[in-house]
Amino acid sequence: GDSVTQMEGPVTLSEEAFLTINCTYTATGYPSLFWYVQYPGEGLQLLLKATKADDKGSNKGFEATYRKETTSFHLEKGSVQVSDSAVYFCALSDSGGGADGLTFGKGTHLIIQP
Amino acid sequence: NAGVTQTPKFRVLKTGQSMTLLCAQDMNHEYMYWYRQDPGMGLRLIHYSVGEGTTAKGEVPDGYNVSRLKKQNFLLGLESAAPSQTSVYFCASSPWTGRQALHFGNGTRLTVT
């Protein structure tokens, strides 16, 4: 079945550092790929998405490129802020149009220190 | 902009008690989902619904029941709570599936003692 693998962390960085959170996936066909962010005490919010190979999703300074050849969707940001501290989830959707939602990775806890 | 609303936000149950978690969405979405979130496990799908009057099992359905009597509401029931059901429960909705993002509520933190 489909699966998503991501580094679990916690990942601790200093403010203004460069961020990479790795995400790789296993799926048949051509799934859509997503990054969600969860702030403490809140639900998951969509951060960015990409629906086909070589697409780049971007939002709030974060970027991720859908790489079919390496089955990856790594999240990057050039200069992180304390407010970026959160848990980040990589997810994929069933390319066959199935109704059973998204498959999530286990989440990466990011801590940004001032 | 209510989006997806979950009630209650917190609940403590004793083993064997029952309860119902309510999810309401005001976006006219067809699909609704219940997930549970546990440390080190990510999110796991419990049940989902593709429209009013329909429900289907997800990855971890045992011990839970659901109902979708109205399009905007999706109820998750625990008939006889167990400590293993201590978790944070999230409801989500989407206009249709395939390549669509999910919209999440803020969660219900349930503790079963």
Tens of pLDDT along A29-62? 788 999 999 998 889 999 999 998 999 999 999 9
Q: Give dist(CA A24, CA A73) in Å, integer.
A: 6
pLDDT at A8: 81
Tens of pLDDT along B46-62? 999 999 999 999 999 99
pLDDT at A106: 93
Which residue matches tokens 């550092």? Answer: A17
pLDDT at B101: 82
Q: Give dist(CA B28, CA A2) in Å, integer.
A: 28
Distance from CA of B41 to the nearest CA of A (A): 5
Residues of B with CB under 8 A from a CB of A: 4, 31, 33, 35, 40-43, 45, 48, 50, 56, 58, 90, 92, 94, 97-107
Q: Which of A36, A41, A98 sits opposite B97 (nearest CB)?
A: A98
Contact B107 A43 (CB under 8 A): yes
Q: Give dist(CA B89, CA B38) in Å, integer.
A: 9
Q: Give dist(CA A49, CA A62) in Å, integer.
A: 11
- Averaged pLDDT for residues A73-88: 97
pLDDT at B39: 86
3-state secondary structure chain B: CCCEEEECCEEEECCCCCEEEEEEECCCCCEEEEEEEECCCEEEEEEEECCCCCCEECCCCCCCEEECCCCCEEEEEECCCCHHHCEEEEEEEECCCCCCCCEECCCEEEEEC
pLDDT in tens, chain B (113 residues): 679 999 999 999 999 999 999 999 999 999 999 999 998 888 999 999 999 999 999 999 999 999 999 999 999 999 999 999 999 999 999 987 656 788 999 999 999 99
